[in-house]
């Protein structure tokens, strides 16, 4: 593969998505040396280059076809798309899949002591945000006029500082809002990290590599959500035991070397076992119950 046909993936250099983006790619088999603070990291064992940038730059790099893939929060992606559309510019990309990290919500928050009776309370108010287009879309859908105060950081202090009446900011636990005397009143957007691809021509080898990567990502994600369950159970209680297990496939039943009355049961489950289920299993006669993490999966 020539240098030009190396797959280019943009990920966040440092921030809330960077660790998970890197570990996802590593779990997909990419050997990358990320110790150096370089913009581009080359995979040693695959024709892939990682471009490490501010998350705000990732949508544009994909829209403009500078990189082939990008891992980005849907909130940033959709804001960038709306911003391009507003400027009559092109914003094309393919959504490959949502990922299992980067969960957050974009919410409206008002000072704790303020009277809030639904979004209409914000009519003609000034709202501070880093997401003016997502906010505008929501407010337009609800027929509310508002004044915008664009801040790219410190949004949570805007009301205290007298810059705005309310804010629209990302929230995951809500503790930052609380610490700043704010109350979350409406969720306007729910976000996760996602994997996007540029549109346009792509050589067959690169496309084949993307498809291999997608199978691996699916395997990693599925493995994270699944558990390997092993236990011993009395033969005559097998149906009761199986009924308690949230399974993906039929379990494997194996004989035990020195016990004719009992068998070993192995299975992959989509969920972990709750303590309550383990107690129920034990109550119907199961023993030696093990719940193990799975590293990789391929169906």
Phi, psi dihedral angles at 47 (to 5 degrees): -80, 65
Query: 118: Cβ–Cβ under 8 A, 6 or more apart, which residues?
Result: 186
Taking the complex as a whole, how short is the minimal distance between the CB of residue 54 and ligand ATP, in angstroms? 4
Is there binding between residue 197 and ligand ATP (CB under 6 A)? no
Contact between 55 and Mg ion per CB under 5 A: yes
Residues 6+ apart with CB under 8 A from 258: none
Q: Which of Mg ion, ligand ATP, none does residue 105 bind (CB under 5 to 8 Å by kind)?
A: none
| Residue 191 found at the interface with ligand ATP (CB under 6 A) | yes
Q: Is 78 in the site for Mg ion (CB under 5 A)?
A: no
48-67 mask for ligand ATP (x: CB under 6 A)? ------xxx-----------
Torsion 123-124-130-131 (CA) sign: positive
Tell me whether residue 155 or residue 263 sits nearer to ligand ATP (CB atom). 155
- Which one of Mg ion, ligand ATP, none is in contact with 191 (Cβ closer than 5 to 8 A by kind)? ligand ATP
Q: Does 165 bind Mg ion (CB under 5 A)?
A: no
CA-CA distance, 179 to 169, in Å (whole number)?
14
CB of 286 to ligand ATP, least distance (A): 39
* Distance of closest approach, residue 7 Cβ to Mg ion, in angstroms: 24
Does residue 56 touch Mg ion according to CB under 5 A? yes
Applying CB under 6 A, does 132 fall inside the site for ligand ATP?
A: no
Q: How many residues bind Mg ion (CB under 5 A)?
A: 2
Reported as half-sphere exposure (CB side, CA atoms, 13 A), residue 261 has a value of 5
Q: β-strands 259-269, 193-197: how paired? A: unpaired
The binding track of 71-90 with respect to ligand ATP, each residue x by CB under 6 A or -, is --x-xx--------------
Report whether 17 contacts 193 (CB < 8 A): yes
**What token pair was written down for 90?**
């092109």
Which residue has the CB atom at the shortest distance from ligand ATP? 73
Residue 30: CB partners within 8 Å, gap ≥ 6?
Answer: 43, 45, 46, 48
Q: Applying CB under 5 A, does 169 fall inside the site for Mg ion? A: no
Taking CA atoms, 76 is separated from 34, 55, 102, 156, 185, in Å, by 24, 8, 12, 18, 21
Among the residue ranges 11-19, 83-91, 141-149, 215-223, the one whose residues contact ligand ATP (CB under 6 A): 11-19
Residues 256-275 that bind ligand ATP (CB under 6 A): none
Please identify which residue in 9, 10, 12, 28 interacts with ligand ATP, judged by CB under 6 A.
12
Total interface residues for ligand ATP by CB under 6 A: 15
Q: Restricting to residues 17-46, which ones interact with Mg ion according to CB under 5 A?
A: none
Which own/partner contact pairs does 259-266 have at CB distance under 8 Å and 24+ positions apart?
259/232, 261/234, 261/235, 262/232, 262/233, 262/234, 262/235, 263/232, 263/233, 263/235, 263/238, 264/230, 264/231, 264/232, 265/229, 265/230, 265/231, 265/232, 265/233, 265/238, 265/241, 266/228, 266/229, 266/230
Nearer to ligand ATP, 38 or 54 (CB): 54
- Residues contributing to the site for Mg ion (CB under 5 A): 55-56
- Residues contributing to the site for ligand ATP (CB under 6 A): 12, 15-17, 54-56, 73, 75-76, 102, 104, 170, 172, 191
């Amino acid at each position: 593969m020539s240098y030009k046909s190396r797959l280019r993936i943009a990920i966040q250099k440092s921030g809330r998505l960077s660790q998970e983006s890197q570990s996802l790619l590593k779990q997909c088999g990419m050997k990358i040396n990320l110790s150096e603070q370089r913009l581009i990291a080359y995979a040693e064992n695959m024709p892939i280059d990682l471009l490490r940038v501010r998350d705000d730059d990732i949508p544009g790099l994909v829209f403009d076809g500078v990189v082939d893939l990008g891992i980005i929060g849907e909130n940033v992606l959709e804001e960038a798309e709306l911003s391009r559309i507003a400027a009559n510019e092109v914003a094309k990309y393919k959504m490959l899949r949502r990922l299992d990290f980067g969960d957050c919500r974009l919410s409206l928050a008002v000072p704790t002591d303020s009277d809030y009776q639904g979004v209409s309370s914000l009519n003609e108010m000034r709202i501070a945000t880093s997401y003016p287009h997502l906010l505008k879309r929501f407010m337009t859908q609800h027929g509310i006029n508002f004044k915008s105060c664009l801040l790219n950081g410190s949004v949570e202090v805007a009301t205290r500082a007298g810059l705005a009446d309310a804010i629209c900011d990302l929230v995951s636990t809500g503790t930052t809002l609380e610490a700043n005397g704010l109350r979350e009143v409406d969720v306007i957007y729910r976000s996760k990290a996602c994997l996007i691809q540029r549109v346009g021509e792509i050589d067959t080898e690169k496309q084949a590599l993307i498809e291999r990567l997608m199978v691996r990502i699916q395997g990693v994600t599925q493995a994270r959500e699944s558990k390997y369950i092993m236990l011993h159970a009395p033969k005559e209680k097998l149906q009761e035991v199986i009924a308690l297990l949230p399974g993906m496939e039929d379990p494997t039943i194996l004989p035990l070397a020195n016990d004719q009355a009992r068998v070993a049961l192995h299975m992959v489950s989509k969920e972990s076992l709750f303590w309550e289920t383990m107690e129920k299993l034990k109550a119907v006669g199961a023993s030696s119950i093990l719940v193990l993490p799975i590293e990789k999966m391929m169906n």
